[in-house]
Amino acid sequence: MRVQVFKTWDRVRSSFWFLPAIMAGGAMVSAFATVALDTPVTDWLTLHWGLTFTGGAEGASALLGAIAGSMITIAGVVFSMTLVALSLASSQLGPRLLRNFMRDATTQIVLGTFVATFLYCLLVLRTIRRAEEVAFVPHLSVTFGVLLAVVSVGVLIYFIHHVSVSIQANEIVARVGTELIEGIERLFPENIGRGAPRIPTEPPDADFLDTFDRQARPIGSAGDGYLQFVDGDALMELAMQEDVVIRLERRPGHYVVATRPLALVWPGNRVTDQLVERVNSAFALGNQRTSGQDIEFAVNQLVEIAVRALSPGLNDPFTAMTCVDHLGSALCRLAQRGMPSPYRHDTQDQLRIITPVFTFPEVTDAAFNQIRQYARSSTAVTIRLLETIAVVAGSVQRPEDRAALLRHARMIARGARGGLPEDEDRQEVEERFQSANQLLSESPDSNR
């Protein structure tokens, strides 16, 4: 149930209707409230401050009509500008970045501002009466409508600036890089060497793992799609209630095929239809990957921008180098974080959950493999890759992390020897490789 809430909230955040709908509802409530308060408040404001609208019914109708008409027109212009930005981002930087643009709260608030102002003026306009015996002009409401129009003009000016900045490649890369770092801080909260020493979680013995493989019963997926969220607390609670051990066969970001094993449950004879249903309810599937629990998704977004920038059609190595810089920044933070154990125990120290986890070498592979392959003929990007590895080398503390970086440095250097035609370019790459190799080989525990 909780994963469905997370999935729905993630979908709502990426929509253009949620915030505008809330703001439109607030505008409707404000319209009725200001009209109700108009008679007792207008005289006081006029007497002490002189701030309210003092015209007649004709003037109020014309003013609100002009504001409402202009607001709905500007809302259409804002929609058009947003679609142009989405089209530009999709064609040049990749379609998977559209979700980042749609999650931009600024665009949603701007759309909501114009729609809310339009609805407010429309609802207030219907309360104006011109007949002399029952004449009514909501002076306070008209004044508030003028104030909303002034705010909307400022919002429009800011939105033009925001769009012009948000479609710049460096800004987009920085936004994705920030999302990646936030995901690392959320999924890997423990820093190495800080706080109380962690008690290492020992893996179960080989006999248990062999028994598990032979006797565990698979639970098939209820549908197809990308695994977006996993409710670990619900699975732990279920495993404790049923006294079973659950091993997840897929992690967030993997594509799941219907009826294929999503998890294994041991002992297999305790698996019931109700347990199968509850296990499936702890997994949320969708048509696309999300960054909520999938650290590789943000990495792949940066890699996609870099690979597109290296294509012959664009030939933009500067954007690719910017992506490499942000990937290096994220890897530096990840190298300083404690990797979570795949073995999860309950309060009685009983093994309950076995889950696949992200590791530094896997994230490093996702970050460097494709860029390394496409950058073989680009001296600038190849050098930046080796310089980034040298920077990350100063943060790694685990031998397997150093080995992963050294492996990539060697592959980058070998690729440059075969892909760069100039001797001086190859020599410069070799110098960067030797520098990175020296930094990665300083630890006595490193693999040479």
Query: Which tens digits make up the pLDDT trace of 377-430?
Result: 899 999 999 999 999 999 998 999 999 999 999 999 999 988 888 999 999 999
Averaged over 336-362, what is the pLDDT?
Answer: 89
Query: Which tens digits make up the pLDDT trace of 216-264?
Result: 999 999 899 999 999 988 999 999 999 999 999 999 999 999 999 999 9
* Residue 412: C-alpha distances to residues 325, 335, 376, 379, 437 (Å): 16, 20, 8, 11, 12
Is 168 buried (19+), middle (13-18) or exposed (0-12) by CB count in 10 A? Answer: exposed
Total H helices, total E strands in the chain = 16, 8
User: What pLDDT sits at residue 159?
Assistant: 92
Which of 38-52, 53-67, 210-224: highest mean pLDDT? Answer: 210-224
The set of residues, in sequence order, having a beta carbon less than 8 Å from that of 98 and lying 6+ positions away, is 86, 89, 90
Query: Which tens digits make up the pLDDT trace of 135-180?
Result: 677 888 888 999 999 999 999 999 999 988 888 888 889 999 999 9
In this prediction, residue 350 has a pLDDT band, given cuts at 50, 70 and 90, of confident
* Token pair 């009509």 in the structure block, residue: 65
- Indicate whether 194 pLDDT > 60: no
Domain regions of the chain by residue span: 14-167
- Indicate whether 196 pLDDT > 80: no
In this prediction, residue 132 has a pLDDT band, given cuts at 50, 70 and 90, of low
User: What pLDDT sits at residue 129?
Assistant: 79
User: What pLDDT sits at residue 189?
Assistant: 80
